[in-house]
Amino acid sequence: MEKEKQLLVKCRRLIEESLRWGDSSTWSNDDFEQLSEKIFDKTRVQLSISTLKRIWGKVRYENFPTTATLNALAGFVDYESWRDFRQKNEVSEPVSPFENGFEVPSPLQDGAKPKSRAVSALVVFVVILLVVLAITYISFQKKQTPVDLSKVKFEAAKVSDTLPNSVIFNYDASAFNSDSVYIQQSWDPTRREKVDGNGKQYTSIYYNPGYFIAKLVVDNKIKKECIVSIKTSGWKGIIEAKPVPIYLSEKEIKGKGFMGISDSLFHQKTGSPVFNDIWVKFANVHEYNGIDAGNFTLETTLRNSSSVEASVCRQVKVILLGTGSAIVIPFSDKGCISNLDLLTGDNYISGKNHDMSAFGCDFSQFQRIKCSVAGHHLKIYLNDKLILDTPQKITLGKIEGIRFEFEGAGEVKYVKLSTPGAGVYEEQFYRD
């Protein structure tokens, strides 16, 4: 078992090196969430955030990871399985005085004579070398003055209240004396941009609304964080595209009795009659005053209005954004439930290793969806039928937004977010 533990440490180190996110001791919940997604994208195995935290020592847990978990970790660093990783990565073990069943003779056996002078000279050289290295290290450490992070400047200022939105970061990382200084837009390390270590300002464009925690990264370690909240004025329709998304006007997303986008408009905007893995989102991001993230109900009526020929799986996501986490509720045609991944706020549930058939829909009809949180329990209903009841140990923090996502065309007829006896947000969509 000790050898297996050493191998797990080595595998973990290889994963850290491939991610290049810096010291894992500084990783946040968002980082483990992103790692879970990356492992799933590569191996199609869903490891929960809590499992990854146990592996990285963030949560105390005595049991060794299961074979399935080990296979996923090994697969992420390009090994066929944990067995393959074990065979190709031997770890050091105490050397036995026996080799092939026979004792290995020592240099003093069979008349061998010790070379005392040479040995003594080597010992003296090693001692002197160690003393020099120790003095050098101590001197270097004395020169290093720990940086007071409370005095490190890292602030963000938006230039407007519209989309896209340039954000000006005012920072001062000069105390670190480093040429490895980056500003990262959010939890996503691919949105990390190198900046001048002695600079004072840097601007970055945010194309999507949301609640982001930007990071000042020095020598691959997160030193400071600041909040960037990109809000919307009402509902904003956005078609995902790279490198720049496609924005929809308010007139384009308002139909007769619904908010959405038609097949024909989707085709016109994307240039493609097939919408597989092309998503449109409708977001309303702002503070929902009076809504308690630990006691609320979200109700909506919607459908994916694409034809099967245009979007094979016709997936839909209902998303509630919070300052601490998010709830992501997925739906699809009944034949595609294997592709669904649900986020409860603190736990992933994957269609790869869970039965998600209750989340399969007949999108020829509008679907009534309800999500409620109370007493640290999340409940999800589809057409008035309870399809999920699960604990939620961590709340969303503060609710900052509602988002609907469709793989292809989609329509939303109604949405209501409320806390009993407190705040209510409600909207019935219609054309003026």
- Both tokens of 391, joined, read 């604990």
Cα R_g (the chain), whole angstroms: 28
Alpha helical stretches, state H, 27-146: 29-43, 49-55, 67-76, 82-88, 116-143
Question: CA 227: distance to chain centroid?
Answer: 17
- Sequence-distant (6+) residues with CB within 8 A of 173 are 152, 181, 195, 197, 198, 199, 216, 218, 223
**pLDDT of amino acid 107:** 38
Provide the residue type at 262 as one letter. S
Taking the whole predicted model, whether its pTM rises above 0.75 is answered as no
- Both tokens of 114, joined, read 């010790």
- Both tokens of 418, joined, read 């409320």
The dihedrals phi and psi of 201, each to the nearest 5 degrees, come to: -140, 150
**d(C-alpha 289, C-alpha 224), whole Å:** 28
**pLDDT of amino acid 121:** 74
**d(C-alpha 356, C-alpha 347), whole Å:** 15
Mean pLDDT per 10-residue interval, the chain, length 432 residues: 86 90 84 88 86 85 84 92 88 42 36 56 80 69 71 93 93 93 87 93 94 92 93 95 93 91 94 94 94 96 95 96 92 95 91 94 96 95 97 89 96 96 88 50
**d(C-alpha 411, C-alpha 306), whole Å:** 10
- Cβ(191)–Cβ(184) below 8 Å: yes
**pLDDT of amino acid 22:** 84
Q: Which of 86, 92, 60 is nearest to 73 (CA)?
A: 86
Q: What is the number of other CB atoms lying within 10 angstroms of the CB of residue 190?
A: 8
Spell out a b/e string for 364-391, using b for 16 or more CB atoms within 10 Å of the CB, else e: eebbbbbbbbeeeebbbbbeeeebbeee
**pLDDT of amino acid 98:** 32
